[in-house]
Amino acid sequence: MSLFTCALADLYQEKGDLFYDGEGISQLAHAWQCGQLAKAGGASPKLQLAAWLHDIGHLLSKKEGTPTTYGHDDRHEHVGGNYLLSVFSEEVSQPVLMHVLAKRYLVTTYPDYRKALSADSIRSLELQGGAMSENECSQFIALPFAKDAVSLRRWDDLAKNPDLNMPAKADAIAELLNLAEECQ
């Protein structure tokens, strides 16, 4: 197992049980659900891994709780995406870096999208820059990996079911580590 994979195991072992304020789900459950949705959606292993790890920036952050509740944007997509860029290809890191931009894109492009967002996602949207302009949307969707980021965002929004059964913590982490090893 690589040093990075060991660090990943430690991070989710230590902080995977933390809950997102207002979401009713732990970091690990959200990551696992997002990864399963990506897999069911036919995503490549690298995009599945991006789905699993899209919020790793929250775990790497020193901030307590959910920073948006006190008006702070922790820029977790940059923290997480840049961390992953040191180990994986852009197929993993870019959708992570772009998953907040994808939300801002979807809010403008699909008027019903905002209604389906969770309370925390709506709260953070304004801190993250709000809806994109039409011009920003055109520029965004032309970027490499933008469509992967939009797919990831759709899975992200669905991966917040507090009642869904999931494997034991150790098994979920093992599944993540296998995928991470495969993608290095």
Interacting residues with Fe ion (CB under 5 A): 55, 156
CB of 103 to Fe ion, least distance (A): 8
CB of 82 to Fe ion, least distance (A): 14
Nearer residue to Fe ion within complex by CB, 6 or 97: 97
Nearer residue to Fe ion within complex by CB, 52 or 88: 52
Nearer residue to Fe ion within complex by CB, 75 or 169: 75
Contacts for 141 with CB less than 8 Å, ≥ 6 apart = 105, 147, 150
Nearer residue to Fe ion within complex by CB, 73 or 90: 73
| Two tokens, residue 128 | 């993250």
The candidate with the shortest Cα–Cα distance to 33, out of 114, 147, 134, 154, is: 154
| Two tokens, residue 28 | 């690990």
CB of 128 to Fe ion, least distance (A): 9
CB of 20 to Fe ion, least distance (A): 8
What span, in angstroms and rounded, lies between the C-alpha atoms of 140 and 184?
A: 27
Nearer residue to Fe ion within complex by CB, 9 or 159: 159
Give me the torsion for CA of 173, 1, 155, 110, rounded to 10°: 140
Ordered DSSP codes for 128-164 = TT-SPPHHHHHHHHTSTTHHHHHHHHHHHHH---TT-
CB of 86 to Fe ion, least distance (A): 19
Q: Are 19 and 55 in contact (CB under 8 A)?
A: no
